[in-house]
A and B are shown apart, each in its own frame.
Chain A
Amino acid sequence: MADILTALNMIFVPINLLGLVFGVAVGIAFGCMPGLSVNMGLALLFPLAFSFQGIGGILMLLGIYCGAIYGGSISAILLKTPGTPASVATTLDGYPMATKLKQPGRALGLSTMASTFGGVFSTICLILLAPQLAKVALQFSKPEYFALAIFGLSIITSVSSGSVIKGIMGGLFGLFLATVGIDDMSGSIRFTLDTTYFLGGVSFIPVLIGVFAFAQVLSSIEDYYHTEKTDPIKFVDKVLPSWADFKRVFATLIRSSAIGTFIGCVPGTGGDIASFVSYDQAKRWSKNSANFGNGEPEGVAAPEAGNNAVSGGAFIPVLTLGIPGDGATAIMMGALMVQGLQPGPLLFVEKAPDVYAIFIGLLLANVIMGIMGFSLIRLFAKVVNVPVHILLPIIVMMTFVGTYSYNNSINDVYLMVASGFVGYFLNKLGFSMSAIIIGIILGSMAEQNFVGSLIMSDGNFNIFFTRPICLFFLVAAALSLLSPVLGKLFKKA
């Protein structure tokens, strides 16, 4: 109880609350503008998070994370152009409801209600489940942590990228980048190219902004060349959902939120998968399944509840095991680490107030997101229409300023630009940027626990195969990596 009160004291500081509200607003704006992603919003404002004292910056990033997932539905409904991949399924019924049925306000209201419901539902699951899982994870030792790092990486590489092999290559390269600088175990200086700049390792923030924000800007410039202008819907009617609509979609909200939370817990999945699975299930269970695709309320509510429910679920492996599930949670995990909060079961013991502050912050972010959605939707509907030729130069400037302001280092800017250029080509070749970033994040954990395990066993590799939990995670990692091959074999059989 004392920890919860301390957490409340940490959150209910005007500047921290302001950061949370600002984060949600920026997140919704980022989410609703096609071409700007959740990851880009988080990466761009990552350096600004450290201008806040204590937990304030984390709260701001939580706000961006929640807001951006929801924001994607606004352009999906008004423009038929999803702001984020997680909102693709929302276009299927959201856009017809807004155009054919001429009820854009109803569609936006349903999506806002479903997003808020999904977010709150999954946060409650996080609050209930995470401490229990952390208790189990407290029994883990170095070999188990090494196996966990490998498992986390294997899931990401096999699920998030189009090509498993390229995913593994990206992950391995990320792991290598994490070895640059002074080795924590031996004190050796490794791969610094004889510069002092790399002594502290490859700076995470410039790489993050480079691959997630700057590379995305370059891709958007390419996409803009082909873009055809869509006439936006200018009039948004009443957005508060009716009682009849609420009753009609309530079961869908519960089902989709549960699906989203579960999918969020699995590293390597994400909002896009959750929204499509939720939509599919809503269609199967609906009495009006034939009307799906023509503006069915369940068809709007299901994907939005599902994709927002991912937010709480995705934090379960991050906070309890230190395994990020996707690019966005990897950025959040990086932010926690930079703030001195090392995700993992010990976080629940050593920094319990901070953990509760994250729980309450996520809950508040979802509530604020709902309030903003209902009250400011007409404003956000206008943000959708900001022309790309104005938006992109501003984003380019923000990538430079954000990178520079973190460390006041022009070398960071050069690293960001180089990462962005490389990221643009890697994206085109089907590499997963998330795999590289997660490799960098998990690199230190993997190496330290690998070396620590071998010290424990006097150099005997059997330690990884004789401990049940460790073996379980390693087998699971191998199965996950081999799943595409195994899948083909099963199909043939």
Chain B
Amino acid sequence: MKNMAICNFIVSILGMMIGAAIMMAASEFPLEFTENGPGSGFWPFALGTALALVAVMLLVYSISNKKELSEQLVALTLPANKRVYVMMVIITIYCALISVLGFYPASALLIPATMKLMDFHDKKIIAMTTVGTIAFIYVIFTVLLHTRMPQSMFLE
């Protein structure tokens, strides 16, 4: 558990950094006014400036309401959150596997992995859900809509 005051502090620092990065990136484009209006960097530069200023406001707000915000807890390290982080790792691996194995074989691994992650271990239902979902996607997208799903890099 983290409290909202700490989270806000991190968010405001990140906001200032992103705002500054946008300003720097925008300053590489024309900022001055011509007969064609403001340069193409003007609007994003203004947005970056505004983002940085609002991030400063968040910081000031968080400092001035520190006591109140410290009582608001943000769940980030509970077992339930860890389950989400494991899911994120599974999804990242799945993204890599789509290119290596192809969409359908990778999906045949993702569905059981997700169900097992959710503490469900009935093999029969896992198999039925996997086959049913993949068959549904195949019929709708590959057969009816003619979508060419990603194939294994070894088959291309």
Q: Which residues of A contact B (CB under 8 A)?
A: 51, 165-166, 168-169, 172-173, 175-176, 179, 183, 185-186, 188, 190-191, 218-219, 221-226, 387-390, 392-394, 396-397, 400-401, 404-405, 408, 410, 413-414, 417, 421, 424, 428-430, 447, 450-452, 454-455, 458-459
CB of B44 within 8 A of CB of A179, answer yes
What's the nearest-Cβ distance from chain B to residue A198, in Å? 13
Tell whether B124 is near chain A: CB-to-CB under 8 Å. Answer: no
CB of A173 within 8 A of CB of B147, answer no
A45 to B61, CA, bound (A): 40
The 9 residue pairs across chains A and B that have the minimum distance between CB atoms: A225-B80, A188-B40, A389-B120, A393-B114, A186-B40, A455-B37, A459-B33, A389-B118, A451-B37
Q: Which residues of B contact A51 (CB under 8 A)?
A: 145
CB of B84 within 8 A of CB of A424, answer yes
What's the nearest-Cβ distance from chain A to residue B139, in Å? 12
Tell whether B17 is near chain A: CB-to-CB under 8 Å. Answer: no
Which residue of the partner chain A has the closest CB to B149?
A404
Q: List 19 A-B contacts (CB under 8 A).
A: A168-B54, A172-B54, A175-B47, A176-B47, A176-B48, A185-B36, A188-B40, A218-B87, A223-B80, A388-B118, A389-B119, A393-B115, A397-B107, A408-B147, A428-B75, A428-B76, A452-B37, A454-B37, A454-B38
Q: Which residues of A contact B38 (CB under 8 A)?
A: 450-451, 454, 459
A152 to B22, CA, bound (A): 23
A289 to B83, CA, bound (A): 45
CB of A410 within 8 A of CB of B98, answer yes
CB of A191 within 8 A of CB of B61, answer no
1/0 contact string of B10-53 vs chain A (CB within 8 Å): 01000100100010011001100101111111011001101100
Evaluate whether A172 and B29 lie within 8 angstroms (CB atoms) in the complex, with A179-B43, A410-B150, A429-B74 already known: no
CB of B33 within 8 A of CB of A454, answer yes
Interface Cβ pair total, 8 Å cutoff = 146
Evaluate whether A401 and B95 lie within 8 angstroms (CB atoms) in the complex, with A168-B54, A390-B115 already known: no
Tell whether B131 is near chain A: CB-to-CB under 8 Å. Answer: no
Partner of A417, one of B51, B83, B95, B115: B95
Q: Which residues of B contact A417 (CB under 8 A)?
A: 91-92, 95
Which residue of the partner chain B has the closest CB to A165?
B58
Of B18, B29, B38, B47, chain A has the most CB atoms within 10 Å of the CB of B47
What's the nearest-Cβ distance from chain B to residue A163, in Å? 8
CB of A218 within 8 A of CB of B44, answer no
What's the nearest-Cβ distance from chain B to residue A78, in Å? 23
CB of A401 within 8 A of CB of B51, answer no
Q: Which residues of B contact A183 (CB under 8 A)?
A: 40
Evaluate whether A405 and B141 lie within 8 angstroms (CB atoms) in the complex, with A225-B79, A428-B75 already known: yes
Tell whether B127 is near chain A: CB-to-CB under 8 Å. Answer: no
CB of B115 within 8 A of CB of A429, answer no
Which residues of B in the span 114-144 have a Cβ within 8 Å of any Cβ on A?
A: 114-115, 117-120, 125, 129, 133, 137, 141
A24 to B64, CA, bound (A): 48
Which residue of the partner chain A has the closest CB to B80?
A225
Q: Which residues of A contact B149 (CB under 8 A)?
A: 401, 404
A112 to B39, CA, bound (A): 55
What's the nearest-Cβ distance from chain B to residue A189, in Å? 9
Which residue of the partner chain A has the closest CB to B28?
A190
Partner of B110, one of A393, A424, A428: A393
Of B37, B41, B50, B98, chain A has the most CB atoms within 10 Å of the CB of B37
Which residues of B in the span 64-103 have a Cβ within 8 Å of any Cβ on A?
A: 74-76, 79-81, 83-84, 87-88, 91-92, 95, 98-99, 103
Evaluate whether A405 and B114 lie within 8 angstroms (CB atoms) in the complex, with A397-B137, A454-B33, A459-B37 already known: no
CB of A430 within 8 A of CB of B4, answer yes
| Known A165-B57, A401-B149; 15 more pairs at CB < 8 Å | A51-B145, A165-B58, A166-B11, A169-B15, A169-B58, A172-B50, A185-B36, A190-B29, A222-B84, A388-B118, A389-B115, A397-B110, A429-B74, A455-B36, A458-B35
Q: Which residues of A contact B15 (CB under 8 A)?
A: 169
Evaluate whether A172 and B37 lie within 8 angstroms (CB atoms) in the complex, with A388-B118, A393-B114 already known: no
A455 to B57, CA, bound (A): 32
CB of A222 within 8 A of CB of B80, answer yes
What's the nearest-Cβ distance from chain A to residue B127, in Å? 12
Which residue of the partner chain A has the closest CB to B122?
A389
Which residue of the partner chain A has the closest CB to B90?
A396
CB of B133 within 8 A of CB of A397, answer yes
Q: Which residues of B contact A191 (CB under 8 A)?
A: 25, 44
Partner of A166, one of B58, B87, B103: B58
A282 to B54, CA, bound (A): 41
Q: Which residues of B contact A396 (CB under 8 A)?
A: 91, 110-111, 114
Which residue of the partner chain B has the closest CB to A426?
B11
Q: Which residues of B contact A401 (CB under 8 A)?
A: 137, 141, 147, 149
A221 to B47, CA, bound (A): 35
Q: Which residues of A contact B41 (CB under 8 A)?
A: 190
Partner of A428, one of B26, B57, B61, B74: B74
Of B26, B44, B99, chain A has the most CB atoms within 10 Å of the CB of B44
Partner of A421, one of B29, B61, B88, B110: B88
Q: Which residues of A contact B8 (CB under 8 A)?
A: 429
A392 to B38, CA, bound (A): 48
Q: Which residues of B contact A175 (CB under 8 A)?
A: 47
CB of B47 within 8 A of CB of A172, answer yes
CB of A221 within 8 A of CB of B11, answer no
What's the nearest-Cβ distance from chain A to residue B75, in Å? 7
Of A221, A388, A413, chain B has the most CB atoms within 10 Å of the CB of A221
Q: Which residues of B contact A172 (CB under 8 A)?
A: 47, 50-51, 54
Q: Which residues of B contact A454 (CB under 8 A)?
A: 33, 37-38
CB of A186 within 8 A of CB of B36, answer yes
